[in-house]
Amino acid sequence: MEVKAYIAALFACILPFTALAQEAISPLFGFHTELVEANTATPISVNVTRTRDGIHSQTIAQTFGPYNESGLQEGSAEDREADIVWVKEGGRWLQFYFNNGWKAVGYRNADMSGYAIPHDRGFFIESRADNDWLIAFGGYVRQDPMVYYVTQGFNILNRGFPIPIPLRRSGIERSHGFGPNDIVWLYDEGGDYNRYYFDGVWKKIGSSGDYGEVVIPSTLVIQTMGKGGRVVLSPPQGLQKSKTLPKKTLVPPPPMPQVGMAFTQNEREWGTTELFQISWNAWGPKVLYRTEVYEDSWFQISAKSGHPQQTLFDEAIMVTAAGRIRLRWGIARVRAEWAEKSN
């Protein structure tokens, strides 16, 4: 399985740390991969952010790379050579493609690289490829709830978080802007759109039973039957910001490490391993760095120290050298603490 990845403005991403007693905890960061299906239009969203403020706002070039580093198929749109990125803006659809620069259908040779994808919205990639492929996005992970303002009709929204979220944990049904007749459309990787509504529990149109465990994929579509309004989608509890203040201590935390993110490849004789890698420079052997990852809770995957300015690494395998998809998403943080707290 081929992975086409681009981390916009994150190759030298600096993650300032937050002090907590005798330790410092990084902002959350991570990645997610989305399957782009061959010869069809797949709903896709970017569910990480470029900046710590958690705002999902980026241009076409920032999303896919100024020179198409994400690897969308290039060429003429009229001759049906290029992949098309469909973005809904108000009541119209814009069609972006790469052909010696980012262009859009109907805009001739105008440079469209600076076009900003509407805030907190999803889009479609119409692939001309004969095989399915993965696109990967990396960056900061939002910790606050997603807040959308939906209007009557179809609202194409990003999930906002790289982790899949079950409908019953989303909180959508409690939103003032989500009415009893509104429908949530969710796309599955089999190519089908399934429709869900809330009536005491989450139900599926055409079926009986409780569908609250169905997870929201990269993109969701809310079909608003009424006037709409404010809709809120909550992050998993483990990602939410703590509401308690840290305890004060006379011992200052360790110096703040600078953590960078990148998608990398490990070339082997039998194939290429696709990786999401983080790195930072050690302050010295007196500081212990713990990398933690999140699933249903946080758990540690490594603990290490290093000599001054020694580069430390951790990585996640997205696709193995044999082409097997191993991880579709990942969320992590790094803790820095004194190796000997008494000192």
With contact defined as beta carbons under 8 Å apart, do 221 and 123 qualify? Answer: no
**Burial of 145: CB neighbours in 10 Å, binned 0-12, 13-18, 19+:** middle
Tokens found for residue 43? 């709903």
3-class DSSP string for the chain: CCEEECCCCCCCCCCCCEEECCEEECCCEEEEEEEECCCCEEEECCCCECCCCCCCCCEHHHHHCCCCCCCCCCCCCCCCCCCEEEEEECCEEEEEEECCCEEECCCCCCCCCCCECCCCECEEEECCCCCCEEEEEEEECCCCCEEEEECCEEEEEECCCCCCEEHHHHCHHHCCCCCCCCEEEEECCCCCEEEEEEECEEEECCCCCCCCCCEECCEEEEEECCCCEEEEECCCHHHCCCCCCCCCCCCCCCCCCCCEEEEEEEEECCEEEEEEEEEEECCCCCEEEEEEEECCCEEEEEEECCCCCCEEEEEEEEECCCCCECCCEEEEEEEEEECCCCC
Give the model's pLDDT for residue 323. 87
CB-count burial class (<10 Å; 0-12, 13-18, 19+) for 188: exposed
User: If pLDDT is split at 50, 70 and 90, which confidence band does 10 have?
Assistant: very low
Largest CA distance in the chain: 69
Q: Comparing C-alpha atoms, which of 176, 206, 254, 239 is closest to residue 48?
A: 239
Token pair recorded at residue 179: 């009415």
Query: Distance between CA atoms of 304 and 312, rounded to whole angstroms?
Result: 8
Residue 133, token pair as written in the block = 């492929």
> Confidence class of residue 74 from pLDDT cuts 50, 70 and 90?
very high
Residue 15 reports pLDDT greater than 50? no
Assigned token pair, 281: 């420079």
For 26-71, how does the pLDDT look when each residue is reduced to its tens digit (9 = 90+)? 889 999 999 999 999 999 999 999 988 889 989 999 999 999 999 9
How many C-beta atoms surround the C-beta of residue 155 within 10 A?
23
Q: Judging by DSSP bridges, how do beta strands 183-187 and 193-199 pair with one another?
A: antiparallel
Q: How far apart are CA 170 and CA 235, in angstroms?
A: 7
- Tens of pLDDT along 156-203? 999 999 999 999 999 999 999 999 999 999 999 888 999 999 999 999
Average of pLDDT values for 4-9? 56
Backbone angles phi, psi at 168, to 5 degrees: -70, -20
pLDDT at 17: 41
pLDDT attached to residue 5: 65
Q: What mean pLDDT comes out for the span 221-226?
A: 97
Nearest alpha-carbon partner for 256 in 18, 10, 51:
18
> What was the pLDDT predicted at 6?
58
The 10s digit of each residue's pLDDT in 237-282 is 899 887 766 666 677 889 877 889 999 999 877 789 999 999 999 9
Beta 3-5 vs 133-140: how paired, if at all? parallel
